[in-house]
Amino acid sequence: MFGDRLKLARKKAGYSLRGLSDALGGAPSAQAIGKYERGEMMPSSGVLLQITAALGVSMEFLLSEQVEELEAAEFRKRSGTSARDRARIEAAVIDALQRYLAIEEILELDSGAWRAPRFGNRFLGREEDGEVLAEDLRHGWRLGTDPIPNMTSLLEDRGIKVLVTSLPDGVSGLTCLVRRPRHKTKVPVIVVNDRGTLERRRLTLAHELAHRLIDTTSPVDHEKASDVFAGAFLVPRDHLVREIGKHRNALGYHELIQLKRMYRVSAAALLVRLGQVGVIDRSTLAYAFQTYARGWRRNEPDPLEDPGQEGKYELPRRFERLCYWALAEQLIGQSKASELLQKPLAEIEQGLMGPAEGHADRTPATRRAGLKARSRRAMMGHGTDPQRAHREAARGRVLGNLG
């Protein structure tokens, strides 16, 4: 596993074997680095530290055993993705997932417990069958036909790991399965580009969810079928018809904007959905994109996110919540929480203790003393709790793996 991770980090940094050796001053040699990657030898601790510094990765990234491999990584893209970009994305996803799975192990949570629909992967004979798949999933998850207020929370509640990170231009998102050691259940992951609008991110989440549900042997264009699913999942047919009628000859701008905000989708996606459902015909749809909706695919009208607040809505919250759970229960310390969340200690302390104005009369020293006292009380209170002792043992194993 170390060798594969080292090779990935090297590609992410854009180095050849010789290039990495040169960056390290010629030692270790390119041949030695090749042996590291093939698992034929391990570097010394000193060389390992040099390698992590040169590649810009942590020791945990190279040595953790939480993630073996990302399987079936499918990129939603408009253009080709370079090998270096793919390596950079994979490395970022692995790093985030290792920290995510580590905190779940500390808390003894089942990372593989995603609420997959009972019907399993669906074989589709036509792209249009994505509509039925969306209806069946809504029924299976008991969502009814109302608009989904938060796609990220919905998927996290169902056990899908959602990551929002920087992706190359033209890549909206990707989905994959995380293969873990010791034959543990594989974990589904969806990654979306943090530079996309909220409307785009929600559509991407639904689109990537479809890839997790459609049988790979289905003789259809999976991208088109996933688009149909996404539209039907976010904008259910029955609900839309109740709101706008079975057939319309014309649509007003204000009405469309109200509907796009109701369903929290892009205005362009809403128009396409109106055409799929049959509310408007092809000529009305074409006229819209030739006139008032001409620029909607490039510039979103009346976006859901306010200016200056882009990328701050419907973000994943579960990982952060788990870290503060473990911190409050004294299963990890503030320094480990800072490492896992990649936030400064001052921010971690504020997240645990509350805003500074709530205890402005307390100095940093008295706050630290209070935390230590609370820690001692918590430890005394759990001294005879066998479940707590078991969690502490798990914490020791995980933190040992993380260094």
Beta carbons of 133 and 122 less than 8 angstroms apart: yes
pLDDT of residue 378: 43
> 10 Å Cβ neighbour count for 346?
12
pLDDT of residue 336: 93
Least confident stretch, 1-15, 222-236, 288-302: 1-15
220: part of which helix (H) or strand (E)? Answer: none
> 10 Å Cβ neighbour count for 171?
23
- Segment 15-50, tens digit of pLDDT: 899 999 999 998 899 999 999 989 999 999 999 999
Beta carbons of 261 and 294 less than 8 angstroms apart: no
- Segment 190-224, tens digit of pLDDT: 999 888 899 999 999 999 999 999 999 999 999 99
Q: What one-letter code names the amino acid at 15? A: Y
- Segment 248-296, tens digit of pLDDT: 998 889 999 999 999 999 999 999 999 999 999 999 999 999 999 999 9
pLDDT band, very low/low/confident/very high, at 382 (cuts 50, 70, 90): very low
Question: 392-395: which pairs have CB atoms within 8 A and are 24 or more residues apart?
Answer: 392/331, 394/105, 394/106, 394/108, 395/106, 395/326, 395/331, 395/332
- Strands 69-77 and 187-193 come out as unpaired
In three-state secondary structure terms, 375 is helix
Beta bridge partners of 77: 171
Beta carbons of 28 and 107 less than 8 angstroms apart: no
- The domain defined by 1-62 folds into 434 Repressor (Amino-terminal Domain) (1.10.260)
Percent above pLDDT 70 for the chain: 86
pLDDT of residue 117: 77
- Segment 303-325, tens digit of pLDDT: 999 888 878 899 999 999 999 99
Beta carbons of 163 and 190 less than 8 angstroms apart: yes
CA 384 to chain centroid, in Å, comes to 38
What does the CA dihedral 47, 50, 56, 57 come to, rounded to 10 degrees? 30
Rounded to whole angstroms, how far apart are CA atoms 57 and 95? Answer: 9
Question: 218-225: which pairs have CB atoms within 8 A and are 24 or more residues apart?
Answer: 218/122, 218/123, 218/124, 218/125, 219/125, 220/124, 220/125, 220/126, 220/127, 220/129, 221/127, 223/76, 224/127, 225/124, 225/126, 225/127, 225/129, 225/130
Retrieve residue 100's tokens: 């995510």
pLDDT of residue 365: 55
Closest Cα to residue 71, out of 181, 184, 188, 158? 188
pLDDT of residue 225: 97
**Every domain of the chain and the residues it spans:** 1-62, 64-316, 318-401
Whether residue 76 is predicted with pLDDT greater than 80 in this model: the reply is: no
* Total residues belonging to the chain: 403
pLDDT of residue 78: 45
Beta carbons of 102 and 64 less than 8 angstroms apart: yes
Closest Cα to residue 111, out of 95, 120, 98, 93? 98
User: What does DSSP assign to residue 129?
Assistant: G
Q: Which residue do the tokens 């034929």 mark?
A: 40
